[in-house]
Structure 1
Amino acid sequence: MLGGLQNENFVITEEPKEADTILINTCGFLDIAREESIETIFQAAN
């Protein structure tokens, strides 16, 4: 996924405060993974 974004000239950063957009890759198949995904999204929103 990162390679594809870089090929389209997106700049990748590990610092959320530097980002215009935050992409969170999640798994929705397992209940525990779904819960972790929701927690991660809420953390990123804050």
Structure 2
Amino acid sequence: MLRVRLYTEVRFEVMFQEGLDTVLYVYYLLYVYYLEIEPKESKLK
């Protein structure tokens, strides 16, 4: 169990070093933007 956790933490560090944190951040911004826009669109209909 401990070995799996260590492996997961190492994998996360490698992912962030490769710049995936930037990709996740962009996806997060798009998601928040979508949540903000969607209710307004449905009210217009």
> Which of the five TM-score ranges fits, normalised by the shorter chain?
0.3 to 0.5
Report the TM-score, using the length of structure 1 for normalisation: 0.34
Higher relative helix content: 2
Structure with larger Rg: 2
